[in-house]
Amino acid sequence: MATRKPVDWFGRCAGAGAVTTDHEQPTAGTPTATVRVVIVDDHLSFSEALRYALGADSDIDVVATAATLRAGEHAVHDHQPDVAIVDHRVGDEDGVGLVRSLHENEPRTRLLMLTATTDDSTILRALEAGCAGYLVKDAPLEAVADAVRAVARGDAVVPPALLSRLLPRLRSQPQRRADLLTERELSILDLLDQGQSNAAIAAELTISVNTVRNHVQNVLTKLGAHSKLEAVARARASGLLGQPR
């Protein structure tokens, strides 16, 4: 169980800057017991307070904060965190766009949106872009920390009050599974249908085997499948595969 050091949420704040970090990226393959986090939020007092508060848990390590989308994208690429916490609006920019980009290009990093925005369309856009979790900023710190851990495990996190509001829209506007898959994921699904291994797919797409594994896991999650064979079967049944190439 994680231990918590006493901390004042807003009692400490680091100097302003696009990116702040005190950590070096660990050597590839080095085992870690902590969840590594990057925070992308232009409200510096909030992001630094959240950084110190989450850091009070022994199993969470905030490796960087970023105040712009570009800085956030670079921080995630450089540090390869387990979870990126992203605000809906970062300055004048749309955080959902960053979520979509990270989901496509940094598949090992799970995405959690933490924002003051609670309108249904924003929540749906965030989830469709690749967010595994969505919380509002008035959530208790323990709820945020628990959401970070859950998202890192591969779980989805949406507060029941928000989910109950979304269900009618989800039922009245059913969305094809294909709309939830990125172009890269569809390409990998197509190669799985051809019987190719992760190593063969990596060579075909000139990406690492670990990146392929992360994309495959995203495909399984989105299709509700437990294996590659089941994913291919579900994709065929729903018309995602078997089309003329």
The pLDDT tens digits of the residues spanning 162-182 come to: 877 776 665 554 445 555 677
Q: Report pLDDT for 30.
A: 38
CA distances from 97 to 87, 89, 90, 118 (A): 11, 10, 11, 17
Least confident of 33-37, 38-42, 219-223: 219-223
**Structure token digits, residue 215:** 């994309």
Least confident of 15-24, 72-81, 163-172: 15-24
Q: Which residue would you say has higher pLDDT here, 116 or 28?
A: 116
Q: What is the mean pLDDT of residues 24-39?
A: 64
**134 pLDDT band (50/70/90 cuts)?**
very high
Q: What is the mean pLDDT of residues 76-87?
A: 96
Mean pLDDT estimate for the chain? 80
Q: What is the mean pLDDT of residues 225-240?
A: 78
H-helix or E-strand containing 63?
strand 60-66
Instruction: Give the E-state strand segments of 109-242 in sequence order.
Output: 110-115, 133-136
Closest CA to 80 of 47, 36, 119: 36
**215 pLDDT band (50/70/90 cuts)?**
confident
Measured CA to CA, the distance from residue 76 to residue 66 in angstroms comes to 10
**Contact yes or no for 132/110 (Cβ under 8 A):** yes
Backbone angles phi, psi at 193, to 5 degrees: -65, -30
The pLDDT tens digits of the residues spanning 181-210 come to: 778 888 899 999 888 889 999 999 999 888
Closest CA to 141 of 244, 21, 56: 56
**36 pLDDT band (50/70/90 cuts)?**
very high
Q: What is the mean pLDDT of residues 45-64?
A: 93
Q: Report pLDDT for 242.
A: 59
What letter does residue 157 receive in the DSSP assignment? B
Residues with Cβ within 8 Å of 162's Cβ and at least 6 positions away in sequence, in order, are: 118, 123, 134, 136
Q: Report pLDDT for 90.
A: 92
Rounded to two decimals, the pTM is 0.64
**Does 240 score more than 80 pLDDT?**
no
Mind listing the domains of the chain with CATH numbers?
Answer: 34-172 (3.40.50.2300), 177-237 (1.10.10.10)
**Does 245 score more than 70 pLDDT?**
no
**Structure token digits, residue 232:** 């291919």
**Contact yes or no for 108/211 (Cβ under 8 A):** yes
**Does 129 score more than 70 pLDDT?**
yes
User: Distance between the two ends of the chain, CA-based, in angstroms?
Assistant: 51
H-helix or E-strand containing 84?
strand 83-86
The pLDDT tens digits of the residues spanning 94-106 come to: 999 999 899 888 9
Q: Report pLDDT for 85.
A: 98
